[in-house]
Amino acid sequence: MAIKSILYVRLKCPEIYPSSVIYLADWVHKKRPAIKQQIVDMALFDDLDEKRALIDAIEEHQPDAVAFSWRNMQPFSPNEADESLYHALTFYHSKNPIKRARSAFSGLRMVLDYNDRVKRNFSLIHLVNRKFPKKKIWAGGPAFGLFLDLMAERLPEGAVAIGGEGESAILKLIDGTDLLDEKVAMKLDGKVVLGEKKEFFPLWDESTPVDFQYISEIFPNFANYLRKDYEVAIQTKRGCPYKCVFCAYGFIDGYTVRFRKPEVIASEAETLVKDFGVNKIWFCDSQFYPSKHSLPIVEKTLDELIDRNLDIRWSSYLRIDNVTESLADKMVRSGLRHLRLSITSGCQPIVDWLQIGMKFDKFFDACRLMKTAGYKGTINLDLSLNAPHETKATILETIDTVERIADIFGKDMIRPFIIFLAIQPRTTLAKYAIEKGFLKPDFNPLSLTPFSIRKLIHNPPPLGKPIGKALIKSMQEHPDNIGWNVLEELKKEFS
Ligand code: B12
Ligand code: SF4
């Protein structure tokens, strides 16, 4: 069947700019302009209204294909801002039986909520299959990037799922051509057939600035994401060459870095700022400044933004260890507002074991360069305090490093942010956890029970308990300043 129309259904997640469907629909419009497209965003509906909204949209637009885009599969993150971490730690480490019982109850409720969300998403996909059996069903998005095979098992027969970038795959879906050279999973005769991606999408040559006028025509709720101070996402590149042992982004996005042209990025930002009133941007790359080799293009991108004199404040996942004086200056002048630096540990041997590829002497120099360049935003220092091979001494060294960074920028600007290492499938950390017996070789990363979630957080004994306790105490007593208080508690305990 020739595809003449597509309805994109962005499945529900905590409200966030829907970059996936916006980039995809823009691409399809430019390559197959005759195709009619429409976007419906479940993030904007109450749970109870989702089914009705989906059916209404299908009946109104009569699409040939329904393209589901699914963002989060692991909504839980083991960080100090996640309430479920508090309940998990209280349940496992508190001596107070009443608090433990309360946390067991609340933790269980949250796990049920997570599972409920996953079930609801799958049931919307199955609903289309049942009620509109002639429609093609396609699915993709970040949730499929890591777990393509496991997710595909739960899709209806005949549905096609795409993992990772979707531009070339969606054209093949539209044209009905062979898909097995894509990262694809198809459910056929009850079995999942997998394809393998052969080539990355040529981002540099093919990517153009999004036509936001067109997007606002096919996405009536687009205006919802154009409120003042709402963070809009722009992608500047794909891929990260590092192999930090805990990170799965290379698997999702590739280890080869592919760039969009600086003028394309800046022109996209300019339209958003001048025509749509946007003033806050998140560059939604795996890593904004992935290596020394990317310096010229990153710098050119910032030049283009500066030349256009855009009033924006931006942020991104960002490493600063390779920053130069000129790059630091351009980051600040182009509107960098917040730094989230994932140093993970402040102890060089631990950072080396984690293969983060960062040397602290260079990192301190980089901090000084940022300070001299006039950076005045806040700085989150992500710390995973119980990495493999951690001892009391390495934790004390981390605290010392954080204090040295605070000496450079000023303590008020630094926010240590506690986030345990999550064990992601297909990472070196997962292999290590299996070797150590923390995880079973056949662990299911999508199983959301209190016990399985606990196993997917790396916080083993003997340090797990004192760290957990320090975190519970700080979350309870100093909710506005958790990180510094955890470090103070641990300094007292371990010195
Ligand atoms: C940037 C980012 C963030 C930023 C987002 C900033 C912003 N304003 O947008 C921040 C820091 C806020 C963030 C937060 C979270 N994130 Co995040 N994030 C990312 C990251 C690095 C990029 C996502 C992105 O925007 N990509 C750019 C867009 C254009 O690409 P895309 O969405 O993948 O879409 C492409 C394809 O997927 C495909 N596609 C998409 N839909 C469809 C549909 C069809 C039919 C087809 C064919 C193809 C297709 O085509 C698109 C174009 O190529 C990814 C990791 C990664 N490297 O991808 C994690 C990732 C998306 N995040 C993830 C998670 C879990 C979260 C959090 C839940 C973490 C937490 N607990 O706090 C929150 C949730 C936020 C929310 N409200 O939903 C997971 C999601 C999957 C999972 N494991 O559950 C990822 C994959 C990382 C991981 N750990 O695996 N995140
Ligand atoms: S630098 Fe960032 S994106 Fe790249 S592998 Fe390390 S943690 Fe992942």
Atom 5 in ligand 1: residue holding the nearest Cα = 284
- Rounded Cα gap, residues 196 and 398, in angstroms: 41
Quote the ligand 2 centre to 340 CA distance (angstroms).
13
* Residue 45 token pair: 């509906």
Tell whether ligand 1 has an atom less than 6 A from the beta carbon of residue 167: yes
Cα end-to-end distance, the chain, whole Å: 70
Looking at the DSSP bridge assignments, the partners of residue 232 are: 281
Q: Please tell me the predicted confidence (pLDDT) of residue 78.
A: 83
Cβ neighbours of residue 218 closer than 8 Å, sequence gap 6 or more: 25, 37, 38, 39
CB of 145 sitting under 6 A from ligand 1: yes
Say if ligand 1 is within 6 A of residue 24 CB. yes
Residue 242 CA: nearest ligand 2 atom is: 5
250: Cβ below 6 Å to ligand 2? yes
Closest CA to 170 of 192, 142, 209, 201: 201
- The span from the CA of 108 to the CA of 91, in Å, is 11
Query: Which residue has the least CA distance to atom 63 on ligand 1?
Result: 72
Any atom of ligand 1 within 6 Å of the Cβ of 235 = yes
What ligand has the least distance to the C-alpha of 284?
1
Residue 295: Cβ within 10 Å count? 16
**pTM of the complete model:** 0.96
- Which residue ranges form the domains of the chain, and what is each CATH number? 5-76+113-194 (3.40.50.2300), 83-111 (no CATH), 209-494 (3.80.30.20)
Query: Is residue 351 in contact with ligand 2, taking CB distance under 6 Å?
Result: no
Q: Is the Cβ–Cβ distance between 417 and 381 less than 8 Å?
A: yes
Residue 36: which residues within 8 A CB-CB, separation 6 or more?
4, 5, 6, 61, 63
CA of 391 from ligand 1 middle (Å) equals 33
- Ligand 2 centroid–CA 281 distance in Å is 20
Tell me if 485 CB under 6 Å of ligand 1: no
| pLDDT for position 493 | 95
β pairing state of 65-69 and 457-458:
unpaired
Please give the torsion angle defined by the CA atoms of residues 215, 216, 220 and 224, in that order, rounded to the nearest 10 degrees: 110
Question: In angstroms, what is the span from residue 435 Cα to ligand 1's centroid?
Answer: 29
* pLDDT tens track, the chain, 495 positions: 689 999 999 999 999 999 999 999 999 999 999 999 999 999 999 999 999 999 999 999 999 999 999 999 887 778 888 888 888 888 888 888 898 888 888 888 888 888 899 999 999 999 999 999 999 999 999 999 989 999 999 999 999 999 999 999 999 999 999 999 999 999 889 899 999 999 999 999 999 999 999 999 999 999 999 998 999 999 999 999 999 999 999 999 999 999 999 999 999 999 999 999 999 999 999 999 988 899 999 999 999 999 999 999 999 999 999 999 999 999 999 999 999 999 999 999 999 999 999 999 999 999 999 999 999 999 999 999 999 999 999 999 999 999 999 999 999 999 999 999 999 988 999 999 999 998 888 888 888 777 777 788 888 999 999 999 999 999 999 999 999 999 999 999 999
Query: Which atom number of ligand 2 is nearest to the Cα of residue 287?
Result: 3
In terms of Cα–Cα distance, which of 441, 408, 399, 406 is closest to 423? 441
Ligand 2 lined by 316 (C-beta under 6 Å): no
Residues in the chain: 495
Q: Compute the distance from residue 204 Cα to the ligand 1 centre, in Å.
A: 21
Angle, helices 482-494 vs 464-477, to 10°: value is 140
Q: Which residue out of 26, 72, 420 has the highest number of ligand 1 atoms within 8 Å of its CB and is therefore the one to mutate?
A: 72
Atom of ligand 1 nearest to the CA of 67: 45
The dihedral formed by the CA atoms of 77, 80, 82 and 87, expressed in degrees to the nearest 10: 110
How far apart are the C-alpha atoms of 203 and 47, rounded to whole Å?
36
Measured in Å, residue 99 CA sits from the centre of ligand 1 at 35
pLDDT of residue 416: 97
Give the contacts of 400 (CB within 8 A, at least 6 positions apart). 346
Q: Ligand 2 pocket check: which of 236, 245, 249, 355 to mutate, most ligand atoms within 8 Å of Cβ?
A: 249
Q: d(Cα 158, Cα 192) in Å, to the nearest integer?
A: 10
Helix (H) or strand (E) holding 421: strand 421-422
Q: Give the residue, by CA position, lying nearest to ligand 1 atom 2.
A: 284
